[in-house]
Amino acid sequence: MSEAVHSLHKNRSFYWLMGGNLASFAGAQIYLIALPLVVLSVTGSAVAMGTIAAVGQATVWFMPVIGPFIDRYHRRTLLLLSDIIRALILLLLSVLYMIDMLHFITLIMASIVIGLCTQIYNTAQFAVIPSIVKKEDLPLANTVESSLYHTTILIGPTLGGLLIAFVHPGIGLIANSIGFFLAFLTLFFIRVPPPTKQPSTRGFFQDVREGFHFIYTEKLLLLTNIASALISFGVTFSLTLLVFHLQSTVGLTPLEIGWILSFGGAVAIAGSFLSISLRRIASQRTILFLGYFGGGASLVWLGFADSFVPLLIANAIGTFCAASFNPVVKTIRQKLTPSHMLGRVQASSRFITMALLPLAAFIAGVLGDALDTHRTITIGGMIATCSVLIFLHRDMVTLRADL
């Protein structure tokens, strides 16, 4: 806990954690490109790719169970295990692929384990940040974390594409494995306080219930989670078909699609840091209202747009808005939650927010065939825009700037 007495720019534990995140996030972006090519090479089936993606997303359903582990056990240990397990599994997958011994069932099992480790890592990291960073530095700390993630969106796909195009898809998985291994090494330089001891009579499922109960009684958490669930459903509804829509319906080239996605990542970095300045002139309620509205409206625009420049601008607005409100949501959650409950509350919040995302992706696919991708993406945008209605609730008036 000694690192927490330092201001953020002198906090070595925080920057070691962020350095590990950078390596891990970059590897994950490469994984998003390498995995589909590996799956299609092994199975030759787009349905198989969809199945593996859905299985990976469905690991969010385990979040209520993951939360108590985050609060009961040392969070740095959980981070270490998450990184090394993912590194070893990806290394194994790459070897099996290159010797032509990789099978569909192996990919399914690996997707489940990698998905679970990712959920554990993300929740443990969320809980670690308030324990190594001063309370007043949390907004900037969450902004740095968000901007690093968007930086990897900017550079990761390009790096992955180059590796895969000029070398081998299996090398992309090895690069992802190296990213997780580097993240594993950085964690040894982080000083994280041990978890608060819980009474021995407390049951595991009582801990699960307590996470949801705390959210229900803390109205700001409940309302922001409902708003996040609505916009996440709409965003997933739209973005499930985005690349297919841009290539098959609009007729853009892969290079043009890459420019649209990369430019969105660059604008998101600016959005993350601008949220700090916005808090000086606007309430957090206003920032969230405008961010959620802009994010939803940009998806509606994506659905109507049919040429490169409007699509580029619409996607940039959406990623800018998402990057501006995500650090605010994280900071609110961290400041309102007691340290010993951060794991449970974050896990329960992610479950509330993301539990219906596999359903959103499935419905989007069905509607994309039944209607068309233009209208399906627009419907997703309309659902996402409805999330702003939550911020009109009278309890949201208490969303002060000091939270």
> Does residue 182 or residue 276 have the better pLDDT?
182
Domain-located, residue 383: yes
Residue bearing the bigger pLDDT, 198 or 28:
28
- Shared-domain flag, residues 316 and 260: yes
Tell me, yes or no, whether 173 and 248 share the same domain.
no
Residues 155 and 223 in one domain: no
pLDDT of 2 reads: 43
Same-domain status, 165 and 236 = no
Per the structure, how many domains does the chain have?
Answer: 2
- Proportion of the chain above pLDDT 90, given as a percent: 23
- 339-391 pLDDT, tens per residue? 889 889 988 998 999 888 878 877 887 787 788 888 989 999 999 999 999 98
Q: What is the mean pLDDT of the chain?
A: 82
Q: Is residue 4 pLDDT above 50, yes or no? A: no
Say if residue 23 is in the same domain as residue 101: yes
- Give the distance from CA 245 to its chain's centroid: 22
pLDDT tens per residue, range 105-140? 898 899 899 989 988 998 999 889 988 888 888 888
Same domain flag for 40 and 177: yes
End residue of a domain, out of 137, 158, 191:
191
Q: Shortest CA distance to 272 belongs to which of 151, 127, 125, 121?
A: 151
Is residue 249 in a domain?
yes
pLDDT tens string 216-226: 999 899 999 99
Is residue 263 one of the residues assigned to a domain? yes
Task: Name the residue with tokens 């090479």.
Answer: 41
> How far is it, in rounded angstroms, from Cα 357 to Cα 238?
11
Same domain for 273 and 134: no
Number of residues that make up the chain: 403
CATH assignment of the domain containing 247: 1.20.1250.20
Whether residue 233 lies inside any domain: the answer is: yes
Same domain (yes/no): 164, 240: no
Q: Given CA atoms 237, 239, 243, 249 in this order, what sign does their dihedral have?
A: positive
Is 369 a domain residue?
yes
Contact at 8 Å (CB) between 110 and 93? yes
Residues spanned by the domain of 170? 1-191
d(CA 29, CA 158): 9
| Domain co-membership, 256 together with 351 | yes
CB 276 within 8 A of CB 144: no
Q: Does pLDDT of 56 surpass 80?
A: no
pTM metric for this prediction: 0.77
pLDDT, tens digit, for every residue of 258-299? Answer: 678 778 877 887 777 777 777 777 788 888 999 999 999 999
Q: What percent of the chain has pLDDT over 70?
A: 86
In a domain, 49, yes or no: yes
Residue 76: left (phi > 0), alpha (psi -120 to 50), or beta?
alpha
125 and 215 assigned to the same domain: no
Nearest alpha carbon to residue 314 among 247, 383, 227, 377: 377
> CA-CA distances (angstroms) from residue 201 to 197, 204, 206?
12, 10, 10
Determine, yes or no, domain membership for 197: no
Q: Is residue 196 part of a domain?
A: no
Single residue among 142, 165, 191 that ends a domain in this structure: 191
What is the rounded distance in angstroms from the CA atom of residue 178 to the CA atom of residue 84? 10
Cα–Cα distance for residue pair 295/136, rounded to 1 Å: 27
Give yes or no for residue 227 having a pLDDT over 90: yes
Residue 257 has pLDDT above 90, yes or no: no
What is the model's pLDDT at position 155?
Answer: 63
Residue 67 CA to residue 350 CA, distance in Å, equals: 10
Q: What is the pLDDT of residue 388?
A: 92
Angstrom distance (rounded) from CA 129 to CA 146? 13
pLDDT of residue 165 exceeding 60, the answer is no
Is residue 3 pLDDT above 50, yes or no? no
> Are residues 175 and 253 both part of a single domain?
no
Please check whether residues 169 and 302 belong to one and the same domain: no
| Crossing angle between the packed helical segments 104-132 and 138-166, to the nearest 10 degrees | 150
